[in-house]
Amino acid sequence: MPAVPPVGQPREDRTGLGILIMCAVAVIFAFQDGLSRLLGGEYPPVLVVMLRFWFFALFVVVLVARQPGGLRRAVRSKHPWLQIFRGVLLVAEVVVMVEAFVRLGLVETHAIFTASPLLVAALSGPILGEKVGWRRWTAILIGLCGILIVLKPGQAVFQPAAILPLIAALMFAIYGLATRYVSRDDPSMVSFFWTGISGAVAITVVGIWQWEWLAPVDWVWMLALCLTAVAGHYLLIRAYELAEASALQPFAYTQLVWASVIGVIFFGDVVKPNVVVGAAVVVAAGLFTLWRERQKAAPRRSSPASRPPAS
């Protein structure tokens, strides 16, 4: 999953192009997840994620060094411990997701993980003190019912491993809320830098003990995994520079479709009726919460205080 840097208003409003880029990002990240499942089935997921984060940290350093202030500015955070927590939490979430890909497949893992935006909405009240109205609470409860449809608890076919993507969704939701909190004081590139570096350090402490050399052909797949991660994150940043997050986020759900296609074609995943129905319920609930957030933010954006002064 993407390590999205916190963003403010887009530098230029080109929503159409931003949406197209976001759709491309969904395809790239779906292929990234397929590569993660392929490698995670052959090697310890911690090792796979460690190599990926080494490459990602290098990408972050190069990207941040080209920004105003460079690396000196990037290391100055007003919330260093929370930034470290974000990086560690994200890399742990990625490890859990790779394990889920191997055990459950791409289809069911993504169907359950789509609950993450709902968990963000549910936790934004107690963690950030934001007001969550009854409409969004209703959508959250409906979305959780969709997760139950996917999981089918109480039946013989229920797999305990199905809890993994739900744990990952909760971790990613907390990561997102922590990102929103630090963005009040730290610029986006500062948070992006701390995410890549602290995540790489944390996974190295754990993963280096599981080191083993990859087979020659698997180094090719690993390179492809790293390149898709870099390309996806670069395009994601570009998309948020062109359009508001509320306009882009609904199109991130298309990753579920592409991941399902890849899972069926390349890994023999089966798209079960309960997974389709449950995922549809979760996505619909998530889209409603996004729409409500956009409706509540609209008066603030259009108020005279939020408009730039006339020239």
Residue 307 in domain: no
Residues 258-277: tens digit of each pLDDT = 999 999 999 999 888 988 99
- Residue 156 half-sphere exposure toward CB, CA atoms < 13 A: 0
Residue 6 in domain: no
Residue 4 in domain: no
Residue 310 in domain: no
Residue 214 in domain: yes
Residue 261 in domain: yes
Residue 303 in domain: no
Residue with tokens 């491993």: 161
Q: What is the mean pLDDT of residues 207-231?
A: 95
Residues 131-180: tens digit of each pLDDT = 878 888 898 899 989 988 888 765 544 577 888 999 999 999 999 899 88
In the numeric block, which tokens belong to residue 116? Answer: 């993450």
Q: What b/e string do you get for 39-57 counting C-beta neighbours within 10 Å, with b at 16 or more? A: bbeebbbbbbbbbbbbbbb
Question: How many domains would you assign to the chain?
Answer: 1
Q: What b/e string do you get for 158-181 counting C-beta neighbours within 10 Å, with b at 16 or more? A: eeeebebbbbbbbbbbbbbbbbeb
Contact 195, 87 (CB under 8 A): yes
Which one has a higher pLDDT value, 281 or 1?
281
If one counts every other C-beta atom within 10 angstroms of the C-beta of residue 307, the result is 9
Q: CB-based burial of residue 212 (10 Å sphere; 0-12 exposed, 13-18 middle, 19+ buried)?
A: exposed
Q: Is the pLDDT of residue 302 over 70?
A: no
Residues 27-74: tens digit of each pLDDT = 999 999 999 999 999 999 999 999 999 999 999 999 899 888 889 988
For residue 162, the enclosing domain spans: 15-297
Rounded Cα–Cα distance for residues 114 and 108 (Å): 10
- Indicate the average pLDDT of the chain: 86
Residue 8 in domain: no
Length of the chain: 311
